[in-house]
Every structure is written in C-alpha cells, then in structure tokens.
Structure 1
C-alpha cells in the first residue's frame, strides 16, 4: 500500500479508503489508485483484514454430499448470492452429518475463518451435539430442511406439504384409491410433510422408507411385488426413487401409466426425459441456496435478524407429464 501511495502521489490512507469504499475519494484519484493496484497485483491480506474488522467476508456451506446433483444446485445458489454481495464461500461435505467431519468444519466458524454457516441436514431431524453448540453462539441458516429442535434458527425450505397435497389430489381426481408411498429417510421433516400431504387424499396408503436413490425405489417395488401388494398409484418422495420404481414396474410387465400411475417430487433434469415423462412437483433448489446465502449475509451485516421469524417457505409447482392417467378398472 505504501508503494501504491508513493506511485500515485497520495497518502496510504487514501489508498485504504479507495479499497474499502468507507470514505469518499475523488474519482480521478480513485481511478489512478485502482490502475496502480492492478499493475502492482496488490491483494489485501485476509488475515490482516480479519484482525482489523473481525470479519473474513467468507461464509461456509455444509451439505451431506457436495457431489450429489441436488446439493450441488443448492451450493451453486449459495455461491451466486455470496458473489453478488462480495463474499466468498467454503463448501464442505459432511458425509451425511458425520460428527467428526462436522466438528472440523464448525471449528472454522468458531475461529472466525468463516463468518457464518449455511447448513443442510441429511438423515435425521435430531441435530448433532456439535451443531446444537454452534447454533447457540454463531450465525447459522438452515437450508432445505428445517430442524424443529433448532426452532430459533432461520430456515429456507420448500412447501413440501402443499406440493404433496397437490400430487395426492391429482391422483385422486384420476380415480385412484390404492396408493403406495416411497419415502426417503423417516426422520426428515420434508418427508414427514410429504407423507402427510399425500395421505390427505390416501389415508390408508402404505409407506415404505428408502434413501432417495434410484436403487432404493427399484428395490422397494421389488419387495412390493414379491409380497403381491396391489396398488394403482405410487408416490415417490423424490424423483430418483420414483424413476427407479418405474424401471422395476416396467421389468415386471406393469405399464406406467396404464396399470400404475407414478409421481415424484423435485423435478430433476431426468424427470422430463424418461419415458413416460414423470409427473412431479417442481421445487427450486437453486433459489433455496440463493435465499439461504442472502439471508445469512444480510444477518451478518445487521440488515436483518437471524431468527426463525426470518424463515422462508418457497412455493412449489405441480408438473403433470405422462406417468399419470385414469385408474384402471
């Protein structure tokens, strides 16, 4: 900074104000300083900034598996929001909330390497002990899954209950009366809400639990067929399980939708290209990430309070494709 100040013929304070924007600097002077900054390749020292301001301007994102399509979309949304607000993002994979990995990443927040955390739950609504400790002292926003025992934290989720209601009503309007529900992990609030929503139209629906993957849907339908369970409608609590179920039904000679109507939830890219196209509920994972990142940063900058009052439930949309039809006689 001293070299830049000398080359520009200004004080070090003027260079500092040009970089931070905290004090007005004459436009021609600021332009001259910025040009010299580019020439010198000057980059502010993040450690020094953190000591001076107590802030790193970096947030963390903890997801169960960053390589998964679903969580990758959320991560992209968080990064877009952070970039717009001039923050960086460190993305961490917790390996389905492994306590050891969580502690390692949570320590980044405790030591102020990051200013706050966007957290996405994986299997259960019961948070780890480390997360409970962290949430009591540090800025945390929950993305995709609300955790009831951390009800003081803000969250950004989809309206899972309404989406499942819409699917149930759609299937009921087609004359279906016997339905099977393939749910993800039983402890997640999103799954509880989706099962509840579909059961408004199908109170006696059989519920089986899987892990959200294609193979899970395939294997659960294999079990149903082996036990000769009769049904005309199948509700997958996510698209991948629904598509896996469709594959197994096809192998068994059961036609979709002539014999069984199948619906999913999420509207992943694959849902529109499988045959038949999958009727599903579209939720915006990218927007979940954007809103979560923006909510956290606005809280860090004092523009909003990070409490459950700031929680957001994003609307969803029923998308009807070829996998649903009138119930067979």
Structure 2
C-alpha cells in the first residue's frame, strides 16, 4: 500500500496548492475550457511533482458515458482493417476516448453477440461496425442496431438503411476500370469478385458489365490464395480472356502469381487491375494498376459519424460516400492481337 506521502494528490489538494478552484484544475488538465497559460503551467508543475489520477468512474457516472467506443472488424490482423482502425483511433484520441477493437472472425455469432452485448449493457458508448464478409446472418445485428449508437464502416447494409454508414463510390471505381480496359482495346474480360452477398460486390459487377456485358464472374474471398486458385481454374478450363478485374489487390496479386507460373506475362499477354491500393501494390513489379480507396479516412469519417450519433439527436447523423480514383501503373497495357 502506498504511504500518504507517495500517494498521488487529489484534485482538491492540487487546487489548494495552486491557489485555484478544483474546476479550474479540471479545465486546465482537460483543455476543454480556456485557462490562463501561467495558471496552466503552475498546475501542470504541481501535478508532475505530486501526481494526480482523475476519478474516471465519477466522470462516467455524471455523464452517463463510459468514454470508450468499439470497432468491430472481421479480422484484426488484416492490413485492410488495420488501416480503418488507424483512422478510428485518431478521432477517438482527439475526443479523449478509449477504443476497444473487436475481431468478429467473419461474423462468428458467439463473438458478435459478446461485442453487441457491450453496447446493450452500455460498456461502450458506441460501435463502428465493419460488416462481415459473408453477411450470412443479420438478425442479431438488426436487433442490436435498434436504439444503439452504431455506424457501418466501408459497407452499408440493405436491411438497415436507417443506420448511418461511411462507404466509397465503388460503382464509379468499377466503371473507371471498365473504361480504362476498353480504351486499351480489350474485349474479353474476367472478374474475380468478392463475396456474392455484399452490396459492394453487386455494384462493382453491374458497373463493370456496362463495359464488358459478357464478362465471366467468379466469386472469391478477398484473400491472395483465392485469386491464385480461381485463376488456376480459368487456365485449366481454357477460358479465353485478355484482362482481369479483381475486386481487391490481394486477389489480383494471387491471380498474377498463377499467370506467371503458367508462363503468361502481365501486362504483355494479360492486363490485371485490382481494387483498394494496398501498400504492396506500389512495390511489386510491375506495380499494380488499381482503384485507390482511403481506408484511413473511412475510419476517421466513421468515428466522427459515431460521435455525431452519440452526442446528437436521433437521426441527426448522416451517411457519407467517399470518392475513389483509378491509379494506372504497370499491370495494364493495350491488348495484343
């Protein structure tokens, strides 16, 4: 046990030593109200000398909030979701909030229920939810979303149009890919798509088919091995194509790896386009042509929207759609006869 001499001082003791009120000490330490700079310096000096631990439980009781938000992602180890987490954490820090990152293991019902219960029991003030890759069972999500502070990041959910979301113009991105490949003279295309049940998958397939109506579409799981294996199936069945549109960069990289193993050159023989613009897209050789999404900004915007939900009137938070851009690099070239 700490002796009275070594225990951190209370706010009242800090205030008495500084010759100010406890309220002034609170404002000086939080920065939420203007305080004379000399007074702030004096208070900070005393705090450094004697220590001070805020009574966070008292703050929570007075405000009715925990000071913590959650972020649920399918896979916490995945680069893509790590970028979103970075953006959410930035805004949480700005608001002096803690962040709990929850891995749902692609919507494992037991894991999701555990995290949803954190919302129900007010263990967290709100949740940024990155929707599952499979979206197989929405009943629990629909239930918890009613009356809770929740925002969807990256993927909206058709059954919950009233829940605010932060998405990107994936449909426009697919159109940019289609237009680019058409301008290069390609006519036979293959699409290595994501999960069939996702809205973004449906939108990308439909938009790309505006340029390639007969494009063969195969569905993968956004992992590199998926692109590799699907490309192997195409080659084994002698499917004729001169270009490939993969719904994320990892599947594109897997497809390129399988093409090279078969002695097919990229982009001389087959052009390949990805989606997302992950870090490795710029360092592979040739660098990957892709559609750039700002995942960190998706995280930032989602967190800001969540705080709008927490602090505002019901229904006041708005969904938003962020732009994408086509980044042309070395994996696309004019079609060879």
Q: TM-score, normalised by structure 2?
A: 0.90
Give the conservation status (yes or no) of the 8 Å contact 1:139–1:306.
Answer: no
Give the conservation status (yes or no) of the 8 Å contact 1:262–1:323.
Answer: yes
Residue in 2 that maps onto 1:2: 12
Q: CA deviation at 1:205?
A: 0.7
Q: CA deviation at 1:261?
A: 0.9
Residue in 2 that maps onto 1:50: 60
> Structure 1 residues 29, 124: closer, same or farther in 2, change over 3 A?
same
Residue in 2 that maps onto 1:71: 81
Residue in 1 that maps onto 2:252: 242
Structure 1's unaligned 5+ residue stretches are none
Alignment equivalent of 2:165, drawn from 147, 155, 178: 155
Is 2:90 the counterpart of 1:80? Answer: yes
**Partner deviation per Cα, 1:28-64 (whole Å, 9 max, x = no partner):** 5454334323333222222222111101222111111
Tell me the secondary structure at the aligned position of residue 99 of structure 2: strand
Tell me the secondary structure at the aligned position of residue 97 of structure 1: coil
Query: Separation in 2 of the partners of 1:147 and 1:62?
Result: 15
Residue in 2 that maps onto 1:278: 288
Tell me the secondary structure at the aligned position of residue 148 of structure 1: coil
- Total equivalences in the alignment: 327
Query: Separation in 2 of the partners of 1:17 and 1:272?
Result: 47
> Structure 1 residues 274, 183: closer, same or farther in 2, change over 3 A?
same
Residue in 2 that maps onto 1:319: 327
The aligned runs of 1:158-237 (5 Å cut-off) are: 158-237=168-247
Query: Separation in 1 of the partners of 2:261 and 2:241?
Result: 17
**Partner deviation per Cα, 1:41-96 (whole Å, 9 max, x = no partner):** 22222222211110122211111111100000000011111112222211111111
> Structure 1 residues 123, 68: closer, same or farther in 2, change over 3 A?
same
Give the conservation status (yes or no) of the 8 Å contact 1:126–1:149.
Answer: no
Query: Separation in 1 of the partners of 2:102 and 2:40?
Result: 38
> Structure 1 residues 204, 53: closer, same or farther in 2, change over 3 A?
same
Query: Separation in 2 of the partners of 1:237 and 1:22?
Result: 44
Q: TM-score, normalised by structure 1?
A: 0.93
Is 2:292 the counterpart of 1:296? Answer: no
Residue in 2 that maps onto 1:328: 336
Q: CA deviation at 1:246?
A: 0.7
Query: Separation in 2 of the partners of 1:47 and 1:236?
Result: 49
Q: Name whichever of 35-44 and 202-211 sits farther off.
A: 35-44
Query: Separation in 2 of the partners of 1:38 and 1:114?
Result: 31
Residue in 1 that maps onto 2:151: 141
Q: CA deviation at 1:7?
A: 2.6
> Structure 1 residues 166, 306: closer, same or farther in 2, change over 3 A?
same
Query: Separation in 1 of the partners of 2:331 and 2:319?
Result: 34
Q: Name whichever of 124-133 and 283-292 sits farther off.
A: 124-133
> Structure 1 residues 28, 326: closer, same or farther in 2, change over 3 A?
closer
**Partner deviation per Cα, 1:152-180 (whole Å, 9 max, x = no partner):** 01111111000000000111111111111
Q: CA deviation at 1:258?
A: 1.7
Residue in 1 that maps onto 2:267: 257
Give the conservation status (yes or no) of the 8 Å contact 2:66–2:124.
Answer: yes
Query: Separation in 2 of the partners of 1:147 and 1:54?
Result: 29
